[in-house]
Amino acid sequence: MTTQKIITRFAPSPTGYLHIGGARTALFNYYFAKHVGGEFHLRIEDTDKARSTEAATQAIIDGLAWLGLTYDGEIIFQSQRADAHIAAANALLDAGLAYRCPLEGDALDAEREKCREAGQAFRSSYRDQNHSTGAIRFRVPEGQTSLTDHVQGNITWENTELDDLVLLRADGTPTYMLAVVVDDHDMGVTHVIRGDDHLINAARQQQIYAALGWNIPQWAHVPLIHGPDGKKLSKRHGALGVEAYRDMGYLPSGLRNYLVKLGWAHGDDELFFDDQAISDVFELDGINASPARLDFDKMDFINGQHIVHTDDKVILGRLLDYLSPNEISEQKLKRLSAAMATLKPRSKTLKEMVEQADYLLVDRPLTLEGKTAKPLRRDGVIELLTALTLQLKALESGAWSAETIQRLLTDFAAENDIGFGRIGQPVRAALTGGRPSPDLSEVLALLGKDECLGRLTDCLDVLSDN
């Protein structure tokens, strides 16, 4: 006895970017296929020539690549499969399960209105005629259409509620509803996992599968993502392209973790740092039937945890995309690498990490003004900074560490009979220019001896001139 291979697919229309809802649908398909040792395929549904663009197609491909979703085989382009779609429509026509309908324009509108007034789904007056021209329409059978959905449960439609839909337009081009069925069948798709806005389409497509004598795939219709206010997700909520989240500084692993948890649960588990860990436990029955709400606070938290758990070298490599050319030098990257232990726990995104690391990357001389300069205007600051600079200069480079510097600073404050803040605040101002920074001893250690002495000297020069 052979076990059927599980095959899923992600089938976006290339009319825009890979938005966050589409990315989650792709993830669910990807993880389920990997969970059962199956295959995950990509199909571009580009039959709408007026709206499909090469740029959008590339954005989808690039978005999946950045997310780390690798599809099996070659990309299927729906527009290249018209012959198969047409053959299926003609097969239904020959079997009497579809018919020709020449109605169009005002005549079609009038007949639609007549059916609406009668409270009926559309049935063409040509349904029982053997007409030789016009669009090919599916002949909806009598009775009911029932399906079992992994997310939505058991659903039944009265067939009298479903229109005789067009399979092949009068100009010979196939419609989406037919193309999807033929493509899924020919690709061997066993599980169709998609948004629940396609639920009614499942009823129509199941009828076409049955009419063609093909195996019907299993269905899983996932509730759409809503904004934090519970309303349909829009751009103002964050219905952006995956590339926008990349630009905001999210890690692919962090966004994957957040999105897969947005409507799917496995016990109380929230964090998955190993991608395989999700694949090991992902089941369709764990998908929630209620809409999930986008939560940027949770997204930030999960991403921050992934930053902490990701290898320093990987983080450093990704940070390069957020640095300006003058922020990339051997010395500055060395500082960044050494600062990972302090930067990672303080950062929810890579962009935030760059902001936290600004004191390490800024070029001399630093601008010292406004609130930042206030600690430098106090009486006796020039004398204290001069004395401390001399002590730091005398410290051996080999002994330049956070621990040694902390002892030096503490002893200096005691020797001069001052509170630590009296010297700590002006030193921090001189070294960081008011930028976010960790403990002062860490700041000095990470900047290095030469850079610290240079910044302190610059500061003293400015204070002396004033």
Query: Residues annotated as binding site for ATP?
Result: 235
Residue 39's DSSP bridge partners are 7
Alpha-carbon distances, residue 25 vs 195, 203, 257 (angstroms): 7, 20, 13
Alpha-carbon distances, residue 341 vs 322, 336, 337, 438 (angstroms): 19, 10, 9, 11
235 in active site: yes
Instruction: Pick the catalytic residue from 231, 235, 351, 371.
Output: 235
**E strands in 150-248:** 153-158, 166-168, 191-195, 218-222, 225-226
Q: What are phi and psi of 160, to 5 degrees?
A: -70, -10
**E strands in 12-61:** 39-44
**E strands in 306-425:** none
**E strands in 215-316:** 218-222, 225-226, 292-293
Handedness of CA 354, 355, 356, 361 (dihedral sign): positive
Tell me the chain's radius of gyration from C-alpha atoms: 32
CA atoms within 13 Å, Cβ hemisphere of 32: 29
Residues 6+ away with beta carbon under 8 Å from 295: 228
Q: Is 50 exposed, middle or buried (0-12, 13-18, 19+ CB in 10 A)?
A: exposed
**By the 8 A CB rule, do 69 and 25 touch?**
no
The residues that are catalytic are 235
